[in-house]
Amino acid sequence: MNQLHCQQNAEYYPERGKMAAPFLETGMIIGLKRSFQVEKMVGGGGFGQIYRAVDLESKLVVAVKVEPKSTDPGRIVLELNILVQLAHSSHIPKVYYSGETGAFNFIIMQLLGSNIAELRKFQKTRSFSVETTARVGIQCLEGLKQIHTLGYIHRDIKPSNICAGIGEHKRILYIVDFGMARRIRLPDGSFRPERPYASFRGTSRYVSLAAHERKETGFVDDIWCLFFSLLELVEGLPWKNIADQDQVCFAKRQLLANFQSRKMGRNFEMFPQILEHTKRTDIPDYERLSGILKSCCVSFNDLEEFEWDDH
């Protein structure tokens, strides 16, 4: 993090999400060695807020992710660290700068478009086509492979953490929010020891059965999150209105006991079967899983524009 540079007095608002009171004001300037002018809030998560801003020197439009220092400063530092290590990955936003202002830490990064949870809701059918779903899956598998190769698991893969690119990157999807990531493999290739009990991390609707059971998770568990996300995008999840975690877990077991997909077809049935046979410390077969997604499509073209019009 760069040195403190406070242009305005920022206050900490305890509310969460995009509806929370803004941490930063429109027009304020942040940054020390480089200056960025805040324009408007474009996203809000469980901890932070995302703003569109302009780099006053290069005029590049950027995103600012800001988190109150009073939450857990380790989160944004971890996120920054991972983003820097993933600087050359095609499905992770580029990081340009970081710093602090008043009560907040911030990261300046590549500005993205809407997340695919929002984009799905804008569709007339509230769902994506098989082709779009397969493209989302294949691009996310590439992104996850890049993250996993570094030894990290994301632990909160879900539609609202997958954003479409903008401008020349509008056919590319990006994985965001590394605040819950964990390093499970060390640079020497060894795995961190398995804990007998792992506290719950992630979002109940999408996590793997292992996460529900408070077991140590691995690379494959990110792909389970992706699997449930894809199912939601293409045809919805039976547990969408269930809040109780145990009931969600039960509904997932029921679904997997006889998994069939109305829209994706028979080939998609192999996807969870492969995951079931992938152990926590196994490297998932990303290519085979991508091949399954491709085989679900009548025609697959990753170069076309996506079916959504960004809002």
Q: Which of 101, 105, 132, 160 binds ligand ADP (CB under 6 A)?
A: 160
Structural contact between residues 140 and 91, judged by C-beta atoms closer than 8 angstroms: yes
Q: How far apart are CA 223 and CA 241, in angstroms?
A: 23
Interface mask toward ligand ADP for 68-97; x: CB under 6 A: -------------------------x----
Q: Which of 31, 45, 68, 272 binds ligand ADP (CB under 6 A)?
A: 45
Total number of residues that touch ligand ADP (CB under 6 A): 22
Q: Is 289 helix (H, G, I), strand (E, B) or coil?
A: helix
Q: Which of 105, 161, 204, 217 binds ligand ADP (CB under 6 A)?
A: 161
In the bound complex, what is the minimum distance in angstroms from residue 156's beta carbon to ligand ADP? 8
Q: Which of 23, 47, 106, 306 binds ligand ADP (CB under 6 A)?
A: 47
Q: Which of 115, 132, 203, 290 binds ligand ADP (CB under 6 A)?
A: 115
Catalytic site includes residue 222:
no
C-alpha torsion angle, residues 193, 81, 46, 24 (rounded to 10): 160
In the bound complex, what is the minimum distance in angstroms from residue 14's beta carbon to ligand ADP? 13
109 is an interface residue for ligand ADP by CB under 6 A: yes
Largest CA distance in the chain: 58
In the bound complex, what is the minimum distance in angstroms from residue 61's beta carbon to ligand ADP? 10
Half-sphere exposure of 172 (CA within 13 A, CB side): 18
Selected catalytic residue, list 156, 177, 221, 222: 156
Q: Which of 137, 151, 179, 284 binds ligand ADP (CB under 6 A)?
A: 179
Helical H segments across the chain, by residue range: 73-85, 116-122, 130-149, 209-212, 219-235, 245-257, 270-276, 286-295
Distances (CA, A) of 162 to 107, 159, 170, 172, 264: 18, 5, 13, 10, 20
Name the one residue in this structure whose structure tokens are 């890049």.
Answer: 146
Q: With respect to ligand ADP, which residue has the nearer C-beta, 45 or 284? A: 45
Q: Is 174 helix (H, G, I), strand (E, B) or coil?
A: strand
Q: How far apart are CA 86 and CA 300, in angstroms?
A: 28
Q: With respect to ligand ADP, which residue has the nearer C-beta, 46 or 291? A: 46
Q: What residues form DSSP beta bridges with 308? A: none
48 is an interface residue for ligand ADP by CB under 6 A: yes
Catalytic residue list: 156
Give the footprint of ligand ADP on this chain (CB under 6 A): 42-48, 50, 63, 65, 93, 109-112, 115, 160-161, 163, 176-177, 179
